[in-house]
Structure 1
Amino acid sequence: MLDKLKVKYPNAVSGNEPRQSDGEFFWFRDSSGTIGIPKEEISSAEASLLQLLFPHNEEVFLSRNASEMKRQWSEFLYQNDRSLPVTSWKKVRFIHFSSPTSDFSYLDFEEAFTSLVSGDSVIVWEDENRGAIIEGESDSSLDDPDFFSIVQTLESDFYVKIQAFSGHYHLMDENLQTHFQMEQKSFELAKKHSLDTRMFTLPDVFPFAVLDGLAPEEFTWFCEELLGDAGKDEELIGTVKTYIECNSNASLAAKKLYIHRNSLQYRIDKFIEKTGLDIRTFQHAFPAYLCLLKKEE
């Protein structure tokens, strides 16, 4: 969408170009970045229409992300600045969140959240009611059930509905922005298909993404995220595929593989530990199986 606006308004500037005075531009944002259109080149009617299509308040974005750390992260994540933020973290994950209303104090929200978690997590805002929590990997990192409890607590304290998507930990490298954007897209898909669910993870979203249609590189990204290093272990993934095809019947799968049932159970436990996918449940077995089929192509 932003590329089409740049064609229509050739003097528009992107969010990662040197900043101009906010008073000279109308600013619009989507998941791919930010664009500023000179006010003298756009009618008031066009501006009003675009504000409906891109409900973003640049002033709010800048004021809520005013600290140096927040500014670096917000420009990297939401304005496609390619410079990695300065941090001591080796790996980070993003917990995307949104609320249908902005009728709460964002400062109180941040204070409440940071009081419930350990470490030096930071919150950056995309607009009045959407943003991301950035958490560095550490021994005290939250697991998903713990974070779900925090979401429930915040909902109770602020009387708002909160939906969140918990991503995987990623290295602080040149691929981090791509991971963020794919997770952001995944979160939007999840909310579209499951309005009442509060907390999403990648296995929850993958079937929705397949249903909506994935480009080959997007399908590959999902499978690499879901399988991780386990996807390189041919014996392990062969065992898991057979186990799922046997309707999770361990005795039948062990017989087909000509191995002892205890050996099968060891491999299943190893796969669960490596991927976080509990293939004993349909919810996780289904996305795992789709990825295993993809690997055979």
Structure 2
Amino acid sequence: MLEKLKQKFPNALSNKMENGEDYKYIWFEDFMGSTIGIPRSDITAEEIRLLELLFAPLNNQDILKTQAEPSWKTFLSEPNTPLPLTSWENIRFIHFKLSHADFSITDFEDAFLAFVPAEAAFVWENETSGILMETDKEESLSKKDLIAISTTLESDFYVKTRMFTGRFHPVNLDLHHHRNQEKKCFDLAQVHLPDLKVSDLADILPHSLLHDKSFLNKKWYINEILGQTQQDTELIKTIKTYIECNSNATYAAKQLYIHRNSLQYRIDKFSERTGLDIRNFRHALTSYLILLLND
């Protein structure tokens, strides 16, 4: 098997180099103890994930982690840049803005990462703003968690923080576009929602639509919030009717000719899929607007 891999990757090595540059290679070991090192520049993230199913990876996670931030910063800041090499399958961006930087950035990162249960990495845009990239390998941070983290960081570092949470996305070239769209939403949130320490797309959508009157990014908003739910016409009709009935469950159930328990089931299903609790006014407004856009 390793011999076949060497044919596919002619620049691969059989043994780690003594000059210490073996970090430039992704290393695997078979059940016989034989190893192969494939140049990072010659292999894709998909190929790495496939080979990890067949062979034992050798310290690749440590290598990827130490190499993650510079390559991600280049990818996110420069258009048409190749996707960084990573074993992550899905990530989301947590954008943050600090009032000043009169402290150690390393200490701030360590303090923040201490609260993050999943694998994560920082990308700094400048000395006061950046992105925390979080994977979905563990339970992700909720908005409540992030508010608590924000409060703790403000107390420890005497700095005001603002955050914006994006949605999880597959690791592919579309991440660059998602990051740019979320950044625009975060900028609007800082202007129109100054009292919210942590905001998300549900909070800022009405302001985003008013700001982007041409609706050029309408499809992006629909996909981000509704996802596959946009094809569930029965569920969409239920939620739209419920909101139009002033969130009166009894009246809405009669309008839909369904039992009230069935209505509640559909509301919970919508909330689980989209992250929107339509019993909350702001989320109900966002839901109704996005359903109108989807129509």
Q: Is the 8 A contact 1:116 1:150 kept in 2?
A: yes
Q: Does 1:232 align with 2:231?
A: yes
CA distance in 2, matches of 1:167, 1:132: 10
CA distance in 2, matches of 1:153, 1:176: 30
Q: Structure 1 residue runs of 4+, over 4 Å off?
A: none
CA distance in 2, matches of 1:239, 1:118: 36
Question: Measured at CA, do residues 154 and 147 of structure 1 come closer, stay the same or move farther in structure 2, by a change above 3 Å?
Answer: same
Question: How high is the sequence identity, in percent, across the aligned residues?
Answer: 47
Q: Render the CA deviation track for 1:38-66: whole Å, top value 9, x for unaligned.
A: xxxxxxxxxxxxxxxxxxxxxxxxxxxxx
Question: Measured at CA, do residues 140 and 261 of structure 1 come closer, stay the same or move farther in structure 2, by a change above 3 Å?
Answer: closer
What CA RMSD, in Å, does the superposition of the two structures yield over aligned residues? 1.5
Question: Measured at CA, do residues 215 and 173 of structure 1 come closer, stay the same or move farther in structure 2, by a change above 3 Å?
Answer: farther
CA distance in 2, matches of 1:215, 1:172: 29
Point out where structure 2 has 5 or more consecutive residues left out of the alignment.
1-65
Q: Is the 8 A contact 2:118 2:136 kept in 1?
A: no
Q: Does 1:178 align with 2:177?
A: yes
Report the equivalent of 1:204.
203
CA distance in 1, matches of 2:231, 2:192: 32
Which letter maps to 1:156? S
CA distance in 2, matches of 1:88, 1:68: 12
Q: Is the 8 A contact 1:190 1:205 kept in 2?
A: yes
Q: Does 1:190 align with 2:189?
A: yes
Q: Is the 8 A contact 1:75 1:81 kept in 2?
A: no
Report the equivalent of 1:14.
none
Provide the secondary structure at the position in 1 that maps to 2:187.
Answer: helix
Point out where structure 1 has 5 or more consecutive residues left out of the alignment.
1-66
| TM-score normalised by length of structure 1 | 0.75
CA distance in 2, matches of 1:86, 1:254: 51
Alpha-carbon distance, 1:142 to partner = 1.7
Q: Render the CA deviation track for 1:57-86: whole Å, top value 9, x for unaligned.
A: xxxxxxxxxx52111100011122531111
CA distance in 2, matches of 1:120, 1:266: 34
Q: Within 5 Å, which residues of 2 pair with 1:223-262?
A: 223-262=222-261
Report the equivalent of 1:292.
291
Which letter maps to 1:146? D
Report the equivalent of 1:82.
81
Q: Within 5 Å, which residues of 2 pair with 1:1-40?
A: none
Which letter maps to 2:184? K
Provide the secondary structure at the position in 1 that maps to 2:117.
Answer: coil
| TM-score normalised by length of structure 2 | 0.75
Question: Measured at CA, do residues 99 and 210 of structure 1 come closer, stay the same or move farther in structure 2, by a change above 3 Å?
Answer: same
CA distance in 2, matches of 1:215, 1:152: 37
Bigger mean CA deviation after superposition, 184-193 or 75-84: 75-84
Paired residue total: 231
Report the equivalent of 2:219.
220
Q: Within 5 Å, which residues of 2 pair with 1:66-105?
A: 68-105=67-104
